[in-house]
A and B are shown apart, each in its own frame.
Chain A
Amino acid sequence: MANTLLSKAERREERLGFLFISPWLIGFIAFAVFPIIASLLISFMKWDIYQAPSWVGWNNFNHLFHDKLFYKSMRVTLVYSAFAIPLGLVLGLALSLLLNMNIRGINTYRTLFYLPSVISGVAIAMVWKWIFNSDYGLLNYLLSLVGIHGPKWLEDPNWILTTYIIMSLWGIGGSAIIFLGGLQNIPGHLYEAAKIDGAKVVQRFTKITLPLLTPTLFFQLLMGIIGSFQVFTSAFMMNGRSGSAGGPENEGLFYMLYLYQKAFKSFDMGYASAMAWVGGLISFILAIIVYKTQGKWVFYDADDTQGKGKTA
């Protein structure tokens, strides 16, 4: 056995290593492995927490695939991601280029732009609801200054998702700071060399900056997809007066909000678990697609650009 090949000191080191990581190991089993398996089992049960659970087979999934609101919440979430994620990434990247400049006060700008990323709770959701108020809100006031009669953002079903997408752009500073980290990892000599070869700004961006930022882009795309399935607080607070409503024609019924309604308003734990799995699978499949295609567009080793075997 391999064990006997280890020296006494090595075995001691191994024991200590496991001891130190044991909180994570226990947590991993209690808060990841166990709930994932349990969630799958519960999705085949009828469980309203007051009565004992009973096995119902594919029933929950059958209902789910005939549930108009399920499709609605899926559509709302996917349409939101399809706009909010790419827009956020492109604008975040543009902003990071500005933030990478060596000008006075740049640290103050960085601080200001990152600020929205630390603020995501109920309080700011209420501020947004008031800003988007169609009659007395700030946004329609600002629009009226340039002669535009603003829409009824959160009351008009056609505008609700746009409202959420606009709101999400307030957070692009967070993405910009992550891109900034990527930018600062790009070795300066690559730009020097390109300059000597006569590459223009645009070329330097498309041939050096962009390829070397793709890992960062990939990471953010992945987190963005997972995140859009978890949009909750703003949807809960902003959609209606009563909270937890889906808004006019349920156009603000984000996936997580519908799941919450099913699990904690109607206490249909089986149905909600089925929903969780379907939503989880869809975000997983999207993540896999992004991951599988990364070979085509994600570029990992900065030194490849110099040609292999060359020493710096």
Chain B
Amino acid sequence: MTYRIRKFAGTTVSHLVLAALSLACLIPFIWMISTSLKTKAGMWEFPPRWIPSPPLWHNYRDAFTLAPFGTYITNTLTLEVLTIAGQVISCTLIAYGFSRFRFRGRDTLFFLMLATMLIPEQVTMIPTFLFYSKLGWIDTYLPLVVPSFFGNAFYVFLMRQFLLTIPKDLDEAAKIDGANEFTILWRVLVPILRPSLTIIVVYTFTGVYNDFLSPLIYLNSPEKFTLAIGLANFVSSRSTEWNLLMAASTVILLPLLLIYYLAQKNLIGGIASLGIKG
């Protein structure tokens, strides 16, 4: 075989493998949507039909009238806005502090911050719960929101990496023009930091959206439930109505897919650029 033919064969095989794996990635979603449009009888058909005829669109309406998903959506979005604001503000300030100022113990503290990523959640969970219950915060959004205002090690790390690539001359120039540190951060750096801010926003969004354990522990009143808890509740009351469950799941996953689609470049670039080194 000549080099050219071999290369062509190699590319074709790679494409086939990648396409097959892509299908494997997507098939749970296809199966979910397919089931969400089935009748009760259609669900128990074997072999299953991929395209239900006729598609039962009112499963979606049924799912939404059987459980107050509208309320869950509002609650989740409220939490999202507050948490994202907390993370964006706190992580920007902290990363700025760690990257632009010299102070004693800075590197030790930074290392300590990275080390906190290794603390298993189960160890801190119980005292934190007891602490919040002493404060009377159970069944409020405070335990879910307040911690986000104190930064997140991974996001600070990401943002500091990014800040270190921005030349200090920019700060100096602004300083000569009479800007103070807050103005420099806000006017000069934050606009440049947009890519890493996007990563923080998207990660926080998906983190809050997927989070199940914390709202499960802290929220008791159904009218305060997030989508995750609301869906879990819906599942326990309709455990075999897979068509309704899949309709609800589809609607719940949609915003996540949309956000991911919009932010994919930033996200994948951010992860890949982490470039783990010693």
Contacts and interface: CB of A to CB of B under 8 A. Distances in A.
A binds B: yes
B97 A126 contact: no
Contacts of A138: 27-28, 31, 48
B212 A233 contact: yes
B228 interface: yes
Interface stretch (A148-156, A188-196, A268-276): A268-276
A269 to B, nearest CB: 6
Interface in B133-166: 133, 147, 149-151, 156
Nearest to A262: B126
Contacts of B149: 23, 27
Contacts of A35: 123-128, 131
Contacts of A32: 116, 119, 124
Contact of B212 (A122, A180, A242, A263): A122
Contacts of A103: 11, 14-15
Contact of B272 (A20, A173, A184): A184
Interface string B42-72: 0111111000000000000000000000000
A181 B275 contact: yes
B22 A121 contact: no
A30 interface: yes
Contacts of B193: none
Interface string B84-111: 0000001001101110111110100100
Q: Is the interface of B mostly helix, strand, loop or mixed?
A: helix
Contacts of A284: 118
Interface string A236-250: 110001110000000
B21 A113 contact: yes
Nearest to B11: A103
A119 B253 contact: yes
Contacts of A49: 130, 133
A99 B130 CA distance: 46
Contacts of A14: 101-104
Interface in A34-48: 34-36, 38-39, 42, 47
A17 B150 contact: no
A16 B246 contact: no
Contacts of A298: 278
A224 interface: no
B238 to A, nearest CB: 11
Contact of A112 (B22, B104, B122): B22
Given A27-B150, A215-B276, A17 B128 contact: no
B103 A36 contact: no
A273 B126 CA distance: 7
Given A16-B101, A130-B35, A135-B46, A39 B126 contact: yes
Nearest to B109: A21
A38 B98 CA distance: 29
B122 A127 contact: no
Nearest to A241: B239
Interface string A5-25: 000001001101111111111
Contacts of A18: 97, 103
Contacts of A28: 112-113, 116, 150
A124 B123 contact: no
A260 B44 CA distance: 34
Given A16-B181, A177-B271, A178-B272, A36 B14 contact: no
Contacts of B256: 118-119
Interface residues of B, number: 96
B130 A269 contact: yes
Nearest to B263: A118
B206 interface: yes
Interface string A217-243: 001001000100110110011000111
B252 interface: yes
A266 to B, nearest CB: 13
Nearest to A264: B217
Contacts of B120: 226, 229-230, 276, 279-280, 283
A227 to B, nearest CB: 10
Contact of A24 (B44, B113, B127): B113
B18 interface: yes
A56 interface: no
Contacts of B17: 98
Interface in B1-56: 11, 14-15, 17-18, 21-22, 24-29, 31-32, 35, 43-48
Contacts of B131: 34-35, 38
B40 to A, nearest CB: 12
Nearest to B31: A138
30 contacts: A13-B102, A16-B101, A27-B147, A31-B150, A35-B124, A35-B128, A35-B131, A101-B11, A103-B14, A105-B15, A109-B18, A111-B264, A114-B264, A118-B206, A119-B206, A119-B256, A124-B253, A136-B45, A136-B46, A170-B24, A181-B272, A181-B273, A215-B276, A233-B212, A256-B213, A259-B122, A260-B213, A269-B126, A269-B130, A279-B120
A-B CB proximity, top 10 nearest: A27-B150, A20-B97, A17-B101, A38-B127, A300-B278, A181-B272, A121-B210, A21-B97, A17-B103, A35-B124
